[in-house]
Structure formats: structure tokens, C-alpha cells
Amino acid sequence: MTGVNAITTKAPSGGVEYRKVDIEESGPLELSPIYTGICGTDKGMATGRLDFAYNPDGQDFIVMGHESICTVKSADSGTGFHPGDLVVPVVRRPGGCINCLAGRQDNCSDGDKHEAGITGKNGFMRETFYDVPEYLVRIKDSALREVGVLTEPLKNVVKVFEVVETVSRRSIYTSRDSTYSGKKAYVVGTGAEGFLFAMMASEYGFDTRILNRHPVEENRLKICDAFGLTFTDYSTGSIDESVDLLIDTSGDPGTFLNFMRKMNYNSIGIMFGTNGKAPAAELTGSDIDRIVERNITLAGSVDAAKIHYEKAVSYLSRWNSVNASALASLITSKRDPSETSLFTERDPNSIKTVIKWT
């Protein structure tokens, strides 16, 4: 593939360029992104803060981007795909461990996997690229042509709720009527992942609060209204209720510990956000007592498998049919690939910024 416009960085040192690249690549399907999403990982790479990012073999750069929705540009016969089909490519590609061999490279047991746009595999922020059917998630609902770009961040959420269902089997976790009604979920952080977690918690039936340490703007409050979420600025008052499900997207140890101290009997705490540069915080003896005496489960969760992408597509279809405008308003701006300053700027009103390719 020669002379394709792409957004690149040099991993792990950083910098961003929009330029023509020549990449040796082939495959039975040629894809063109419609949108690619920008997330904290892309910004971390652009600013040289992600030590674990690396370029593909033989390249001194990596094409960025792991969140996308694409159209099939051309497809070999027998692939089952046709020009114009909508697809979302899977980010993680397997290594040789037992989890990877079983299609669960999200649970890779030796780190020998690659992630498009992050670790050793070119990403999706380019005019066109090649892929194989095994790693493509089909989107049949044409109404998801834009919001389908949220499939990749939402698939992480789907996996987390599978983790919650798995670990909650150690006791009776539901309410007396067998549902999650009356159970309290707190989601810390009001970014795209925070909102998708809160929407899913509400979908499950939890009484759901999304929190930050400062107020949020009108758009975020409207999304809360549309999806039945309560927003709390916890800097202005204390919260005295117990929480059954805590999901942290801040990655801040002090923040996590603060909310962990509100965890109920048999509750579940999920660590999802990451911030290696966050200040340390102290885990006390009474914290450990609480975790032990209350049978609290704390779990980390990263990435997700193809099955979770497929389920994410179903949730997006459902939410889009009942609340299209609120779902669409998670995408706060659509920008041109040449606007590389997007990777280094911080806009507090932005939830999800996407790059428009076609």
C-alpha cells in the first residue's frame, strides 16, 4: 500500500503527524474508516507518556487509532463481506498463549499479543487498510453508521459486566425479587467510558450515580436525564450511602480508596481507569478489615473479546432506537484528520472526539 494518508506517532517517544505512509500490507478485505475515535491512550502515545507502546517490526512509526467504524471497500469472494458493509475491527490480535488461542487475547496470559494502533500493529487512523474476516465485527444496523464508533469503548463495559456477573455468584448479590432493583452503582469519572459504564449499570437496573470532583456542563447533564443517571459533584458534599457496585474510570488511587470505603457487604469494585502518574494513596489496616469482613471483591479488567464487541453492537442498537439523540451526543465533535493538535489539547466539554475520514 503506497501513499496512504495516515496519522502516525513514533512509539514510545510521541509526536503526531498526518502524512502519507507506505506500508507493506495485504488481505482479503480492504477497509476505509468512516470515523476513528480519540481516547486517552492515543493522547498518551502522542505525548510520549505510554512507555509500553511500540512500533511494528521494521517501522520507525506506528499508525495510530484503535476505535473505529469502517466500510468494506473491496472484498474477495468467499469472505462473506461485500463493498459497503459496516464493520468494526477488533483491536487486540492474539499471541500464542492458551487464552489467545481460544480467542480471549483480552485475557492474554504472557503479554505476547498486539494491539492495533498501540503495540506493534498499525492502527486504523488511515484512509484505507487491509484485514481478515476473523477480526471484523459486522454491524448490520445501518443506523449505527456514526455511533457504531462507540462499539470499541463499549465492548470494555460489556466485559466488565460479565466479570461482575461471574464474581457475584459467590453470594446472593441481587435483590429479593431477583433483579438489581435497589442496588447502588457508582461510576467514578465522566468521560466516554464513565458514561458507557453508567448507561450499562442503569440498563441492568442498578440505581446509578456517575460522579466527578467538579460540576459538569449541560450536555453531560442531559445525557444523565435521558439515561436515568444521577450526577454527583462529590467535592461539594459527602456521600453517606453504601455502594454495591463501584466502577472507577479515574485511575486515581486516592479516589478509588475514598469510594472503596463506602462499599457494602458482598459488593464488587472494578478498577478500569489507569493513571500511572497519579499520586500514591495509603491502604490502611481498617481498609483490609473492611474488604475481608464484607466479602468485598476487587477486580481489574482490560479490553474485551470479539463476543463483547458483538454484544456492544446490540446494546448500541437498542439505545439508539430508544434514545438516539442522547446517545449521539456522546460524540461531541467530528474533526478532520489534519487537526493533529486534537491529540495534545484538553477540552473539558468533550466526551468523545472522532476523526471523520469519508
The yes or no reply on residue 1 touching Zn ion (CB under 5 A) is no
User: Given the complex with Zn ion, which of 100 and 223 has the nearer CB atom?
Assistant: 100
194 binds, among Zn ion, ligand NAP, none (CB under 5 to 8 A by kind): ligand NAP
Stretch that binds Zn ion, among 81-89, 90-98, 213-221, 299-307 (CB under 5 A): 90-98
Please state, in angstroms and as integers, the Cα–Cα distance from residue 331 to each residue in 43, 86, 147, 354, following that order.
17, 19, 8, 7
The yes or no reply on residue 343 touching ligand NAP (CB under 6 A) is no
Compute the distance between CA of residue 211 and CA of residue 111 in angstroms, rounded to an integer.
33
Please state, in angstroms and as integers, the Cα–Cα distance from residue 2 to each residue in 32, 48, 58, following that order.
15, 27, 16
Among 202, 250, 320, 340, the residue binding ligand NAP under the rule CB under 6 A is 250
Torsional sign, CA 84, 41, 121, 127: positive
Binding to ligand NAP, residues 17-46 (CB under 6 A): 39-41
Stretch that binds ligand NAP, among 14-22, 91-99, 247-255, 320-328 (CB under 6 A): 247-255
The yes or no reply on residue 39 touching Zn ion (CB under 5 A) is no
Smallest gap from Cβ 262 to Zn ion, in A, equals: 36
User: Given the complex with ligand NAP, which of 105 and 128 has the nearer CB atom?
Assistant: 105
Among 122, 255, 320, 353, the residue binding ligand NAP under the rule CB under 6 A is 255
Among 94, 123, 148, 191, the residue binding ligand NAP under the rule CB under 6 A is 191
Binding to ligand NAP, residues 153-172 (CB under 6 A): 156
Helix (H) or strand (E) holding 270: strand 263-271
Quick one: three-class SS letters along 180-222? CCCCEEEEECCCHHHHHHHHHHHHHCCEEEEEECCCCCHHHHH
The yes or no reply on residue 189 touching ligand NAP (CB under 6 A) is yes
Compute the distance between CA of residue 355 and CA of residue 86 in angstroms, rounded to an integer.
17
Judge contact between 320 and 327, C-beta under 8 A.
yes
Compute the distance between CA of residue 37 and CA of residue 60 in angstroms, rounded to an integer.
23
Among 23, 97, 226, 298, the residue binding Zn ion under the rule CB under 5 A is 97
User: Given the complex with ligand NAP, which of 188 and 246 has the nearer CB atom?
Assistant: 188
Judge contact between 72 and 140, C-beta under 8 A.
no
Judge contact between 99 and 107, C-beta under 8 A.
yes
The yes or no reply on residue 249 touching ligand NAP (CB under 6 A) is yes
Total number of residues that touch ligand NAP (CB under 6 A): 25
- The angle subtended at Cα 272 by Cα 271 and Cα 273, nearest 5°, is 110
Among 95, 120, 133, 205, the residue binding Zn ion under the rule CB under 5 A is 95
User: Given the complex with Zn ion, which of 104 and 126 has the nearer CB atom?
Assistant: 104
How many Cβ atoms sit within 10 Å of the Cβ of residue 170?
A: 11
C-alpha torsion 190→192→193→199, nearest 10: 80
Compute the distance between CA of residue 146 and CA of residue 327 in angstroms, rounded to an integer.
10
Stretch that binds ligand NAP, among 16-24, 97-105, 272-280, 307-315 (CB under 6 A): 272-280
Binding site for Zn ion (CB under 5 A): 95, 97, 100, 108, 112-113
Binding site for ligand NAP (CB under 6 A): 39-41, 156, 188-194, 212-213, 249-252, 255, 272-275, 301-303
